[in-house]
Structure formats: structure tokens, C-alpha cells
Amino acid sequence: MPRLRHDRFVIDELRSSGAELSSFRQVGRPRPIELTNRSLLVYAKRSFRASPRRLARGLRRLVAARPRPDLQETRGWLIATGQLEQAVHDAGHESASRASAATIAAADLFLASRASTGLAEFTARLVRALYRAELASEDRELDVRVPEGFAWYALYPDGYAQAAEAWSHRHGADGSGVSVIGLRSIGTTLAAVVAQALRNRGLAVTERFSLRTTGAPFSRCAELPRGFAPAPRNIIVDEGPGLSGTSMVAVARALRTAGAHADAIHFFAGHCYGPGPAADEATRSWWRGPRVWATGLGDTVVGGSTLPDLLSALAEACAGERAAGPARPLGTDGWCSLAGLTRLPRAVAPGLETPKKVVRLKSGRSVVLKFAGTALTGPALAPEARLRQRAFSGTAIPPCGGGHGWTATPWVEGVRLTVDDARGPFLTGCLGPWIAAAATEVLDVEEVRDAVGRIAAALDAWAMSRGDAARASAIERMAERLTMRAGLESQPGYGDGRLAPHEWIRTPGGAFRKADARGHDCDHTWVGRQPIVWDLAGADIEWELDRDRAEALCACVRRLTGFSCGEATRAFYKAGYCVFRAAAARHCAATGGDARMREHLIGASRWYERKLEAALASLTAEPARP
């Protein structure tokens, strides 16, 4: 099928896994990239395009306006400067050294903020470093990657500072030099924090730099800079390990080849659980023993409190009453219990969820906190701002506060809906109006083409994995028709993506409320921005609508938005929705959970695959008007 350009990110292999910067958090413009991977995929690597000079200038002005910032602000600036450094390093710019100096200055300010000392001095240093980076940078746009851990998985540089301090207690006495190597993208920020935390403890950090590994996702290679000689002790910093754990191991092997002793190589990682099921025994051996240093989320100290205690305090502040204890993880089983569900809904894929915590209040009520991210994420509206905007409709549950990258919402008691509720007035009285109200700004021609291309590529991969060339050809023809038609009429973007019955609550007073209403077009998956038909297709599938009810829902949305589409277009998007949900369920079944959970997820995947077959069968029936 033809190569198609893709919005903001390139789809990659399956992988495991603050201050908000206000309007500055959303910068740049979409990044078009070719999709070349042909396996059935779930996750994406996101990026956006921005001028490093303008990025540095915007950051400098923001920092200069806050001479005594708080911890949330300094963390946000640190992450943003790390993204700036990543962009210029990946582009091979001569200004990379100035950008690296700015990240070091931001790390110093962040560490000073943790200790509540020297804020004015370190803020002034960061302003000067950003000014030098601004002068040295070009004004043309570069690719700025979204660091996954900061954006979606509640990874905190605070935890890496703690790990560095703990490491220094055990390894800092002999006075020998240390090199710190970060893996881009997120390693630019994390390595700066580790290096400066060690320097603050009196250690001699001789080198601090970042690099990218190359090669197949589960078989990475690394090349050290020319002229680099390993130090007596060497620290490799990243957010992993993921499914295979090979990225950090690739750097370790390069260090061994360069002459480092295996015992002199240490991993600063995002967790201590080791790599996932794609790791071979040789790789696993690197992840055993005392070389791995990590601080768990529950042990991460943020602003003088552990994160569970901090989130409990945030919940108390927004609810106006005392908590019964610290925040607890809200896993799948805990969520089902809280929601009064006896079985896991089909559309739940645990591995795709961002971290959630729940705080029980003294009154018995609960507050749920969901991680919303602390990284620059591109031009889309920030999730928490979008949630506040949608709450005005009276359907979405409004946020009641938050901080340090988390958004708090009150837990609303009630009964979760089922597919039977689509046979009543809910369909056109609530579901259709919600799809219309949640719609985002109109997608331009290129965005629609990119959206069609991502779906077509996933469907093509699915068909070819089954040796079905006829299906692949039909998918290609449909994608070409939709691509040719793109831009001939306005197409609002979808705004939700999770419309399954269990996402809706009927309160004791009879009102319908929508949970998890921030939108999912800027999460970690390949779905990205799509036309509103993506939500129409998702509602059709999840509510198991017959032809008449599906037409009634489309008519309702058409009346409210002016958007219309034919049966063939809806079939194409239903197939795209199903291939994504099926792949997500299979991925979650393969990467975690107990036997009961795996059985449920495999069953869900098969259900979506049957729906996918039906949608593709209707696409194969020619001729069809899009």
C-alpha cells in the first residue's frame, strides 16, 4: 500500500511499559512521519515540531518571570529543557552543548527547589543558560519528542535524585570518577538530574552525555562517542526496562567493549522488576544483582512527602475534608469494586491506562487522581484543561483540583450502564449530544489523510498477517477513496474515544454522567487525532447497535454538528476501532495479569476480531459510496 504521512508520531513496536507549563506546555505543530512498521501495533512514539530558538526564548521568559519558583515549576522547566536538548542533539546541531548546559542549569534549580535553598541564584543561572542556548540555536523547526514516562506513566525526576543520593552513600567513598550516560529521549533530563545530584554529594562526575540506541526494538545496539573512555564507575540512565530490556544493556555491552568492568556498570531505571517477556537470558543476567537502582512510585518523595501522602493532601484540598489515609493505587480490580461491577468490562485494557490513585475521605466519599503528565506534548489542548471545558456541558464529571501532574475528580456514585440502555432515550438524548459536544476543532486536509493512513496501515498489517491479500487490497482501495475525499467538507475531530457503557453512570437522581472524559487523542497509542466518525464507530461497536439505532445516532450527531458520512466510511472506521481494541487486549494479555485476566482479555480480543471481520466484509462488498 502507499506510504502515508502520519501526524505527530511514528508507530513503533509494542512496548511496556509539575507544574503545568500553562499555555506554554502546548507548543509547536504536528510532525508528519512515515509509518513503516507492518506488525499489528498499539503504542506510538509521539513528537511535535518546534523551533529550538523559540522554545528556549519562551522558556527563558517564563523562568525570568518567576525568580522564586516552586517545585512544580522547576520540574516542568527541567523536563522542557531536556526536550529542547534532545531535539538539538538528534538534529546534530552545533548548539547542542549550549542546550546541554541549559539542562544542567535546570537540574541544579530543580535540586535546589527540592532542598528549598538558593532558588534566586539558580533561577538566574537558568535564565542565562537559556539565553545562550537561544542565541546559539537555529530558528528552523526540529522534532521534539514527548518523553513517555513524564507524559503518561508518572515517572518523576525526583525519584532519580533519590536513587542518586542512595547510590552515593554506597559507592561515593572512594573518590573515583563517574560517567553518567542517558538514553534519549527521556535520558537527557534524567541523566542531568543524576549527574548534578552526585556532584552535590561531592562525587567527581567526569562525563555526562546522552545517546540513542539503534537497531530492532528487541535487539538494540549502542555506539559510544568517539574518544570516550569509561570511568572507574559508569551509570546508565533511562526509564526502562521495557519488554526486552535491551536498550540499557546495549550501552552496558558497549562499555564492556570499551574496557569497563561489568561491576563498574550501574543501571538507574524506572523500576526494579526487570525486563518483560521479550528478554533473552543473556539480557536478563544484566538486570540481576545490585547494579539496578530505582525508586518506586510509592517511595518517591515530592515536596517533602511521599507521593501517596502528597496525593492524599491534594484530595483533601479539593474535597474540603480529611482523608482516611494515603492515596492507594486504583488497579483494575479496585476500580471494578469501587464501580460495583462484578466482572471486568470488555473494553478495559489495563496496560493502556495511565496511573490512577484513589483517596478515601473520612465521610466515605472518594476522590480519584489520574496522572495527566508533566511534559511538553505538542499543540493539543492539555487534558485537564479539556476536562474543565467539557464539564460545562453538565455531562462530564468536573475536576476538583490536582497538582504535580495529577488531576483529581470526585468519584460519582451510581449504576454503570449496559448495552440495554441504548434501547431507551439515552442514545439520542445523551450519547449523541455528548459525541457532538466533546468534538474538537476541525481537522485539516493533512490531518485527515494521516488519520486514514494510520487506520489503513493497522488494517493492512492485520490482513497480511493472515495472508489475506484480497482484504488488504480492499482496505487499500477504501483508504485511497477516503484520502481523496479528505478536506472536501469540514470534519470535526473526535473528542472521547472511550464510549463503552461502563464509562457512563446513572446517578441516584437519574442523571447520566460521563466518566474519563478528557479525550484520548493525545495518549500513548497510535490512534491520535481522528475525525468524529471514530467516536461514532466506537459507539456503534461498544453499544452493539443495530442498523436503525446506528442511523439514529448518526442523524443526531449530524443535526448537532453538520457532519455526515456514508456506511462505507463508518465500516472503515469500525474496522479501525476494532483492530485497535483487539490488539490492545492481546497486548495486555501477553504482558501481564493473572490467568483469569489473561483469559478475559483474550476473549475480548476475539470478540473485537469478529466485529472486525464483519466490518471488513461490508467493505469488500463493491461498489460502495464512502
Is 387 a domain residue? yes
Asked if the model's pLDDT at residue 543 lies above 50, the reply is: yes
pLDDT value, residue 213: 93
**538/581 Cα distance (integer angstroms):** 10
Lowest mean pLDDT among 251-255, 378-382, 585-589: 378-382
Same domain, 353 and 400: yes
Same domain, 121 and 185: no
Lowest mean pLDDT among 81-90, 472-481, 557-566: 472-481
pLDDT value, residue 451: 87
Residue 517 pLDDT level (bands cut at 50, 70, 90): confident
Q: Tell me if 184 sits within 8 A of 89, measured CB to CB.
A: yes
pLDDT value, residue 533: 95
Question: Stretch 316-342: mean pLDDT, rounded?
Answer: 93
pLDDT value, residue 462: 84
Mean pLDDT of the chain: 86
Question: 10 Å Cβ neighbour count for 61?
Answer: 12
Does pTM surpass 0.85?
Answer: yes
Same domain, 445 and 575: yes
Same domain, 558 and 614: yes
Cα separations (Å) of 342 from 213, 339, 345?
A: 45, 9, 9
Give CA torsion, residues 66, 67, 72, 77, to 10 deg: 80
Same domain, 291 and 365: no
Is 487 a domain residue? yes
Is 510 a domain residue? no
E strands in 394-511 = 401-403, 406-410, 415-416, 440-442, 492-493, 504-506
**216/290 Cα distance (integer angstroms):** 28
Asked if the model's pLDDT at residue 38 lies above 80, the reply is: no
Phi, psi (degrees; rounded to nearest 5) at 265 = -115, 125
pLDDT value, residue 444: 83
Same domain, 422 and 557: yes
Residue 382 pLDDT level (bands cut at 50, 70, 90): low
Domain boundary among 283, 299, 315: 299
Is 150 a domain residue? no
Same domain, 175 and 32: no
Asked if the model's pLDDT at residue 21 lies above 60, the reply is: no
The CATH number of the domain where 488 resides is what? 3.90.1200.10
Instruction: Write b or e for each residue in 564-593: b if 16 or more Cβ atoms lie within 10 A of its Cβ, otherwise e.
Output: ebebbbbbbbbbbbbbbbbbbbbbbbbbbb
pLDDT over 70, % of the chain: 88
Is 360 a domain residue? yes
Long-range contacts of 344-347 (CB under 8 A, 24+ apart): 344/597, 344/600, 345/500, 345/501, 345/502, 346/500, 346/604, 346/607, 347/498, 347/500, 347/502, 347/542, 347/581, 347/604
Q: What residues make up the domain containing 430?
A: 417-504+516-620
384-425 pLDDT per residue, tens: 555 555 555 668 888 888 899 999 999 999 999 999 999 889
Same domain, 171 and 94: no
Asked if the model's pLDDT at residue 552 lies above 90, the reply is: yes
Domain boundary among 299, 317, 336: 299
Domain boundary among 299, 325, 352: 299
Same domain, 117 and 201: no
pLDDT value, residue 380: 53
pLDDT value, residue 40: 52
Smallest Cα–Cα separation from 533: which of 472, 605, 619, 443?
443
- Residues 6 or more apart whose Cβ sits within 8 Å of residue 152: 354, 371, 373, 523, 524
pLDDT value, residue 159: 97
Is 539 a domain residue? yes
233-237 and 178-183 beta bridge pairing: parallel
148-203 pLDDT per residue, tens: 999 999 999 999 999 999 999 998 777 789 999 999 999 999 999 999 999 999 99
Same domain, 479 and 555: yes
Same domain, 404 and 449: no
Residue 30 pLDDT level (bands cut at 50, 70, 90): very low
Is 58 a domain residue? yes
pLDDT over 90, % of the chain: 61
Residue 366 pLDDT level (bands cut at 50, 70, 90): very high
Asked if the model's pLDDT at residue 242 lies above 90, the reply is: no
Asked if the model's pLDDT at residue 371 lies above 80, the reply is: yes
Asked if the model's pLDDT at residue 485 lies above 90, the reply is: no
Q: How many domains does the chain have?
A: 4
Question: Stretch 571-598: mean pLDDT, rounded?
Answer: 89
Same domain, 335 and 288: no
**475/460 Cα distance (integer angstroms):** 7
pLDDT value, residue 1: 29
pLDDT value, residue 176: 85
Return the higher-pLDDT residue of 173 and 602. 602
Helix (H, G, I), strand (E, B) or coil at 14: coil
Question: Stretch 571-588: mean pLDDT, rounded?
Answer: 93
Is 511 a domain residue? no
pLDDT value, residue 134: 94
Residue 136 pLDDT level (bands cut at 50, 70, 90): very high
91-111 pLDDT per residue, tens: 998 889 999 999 999 999 999
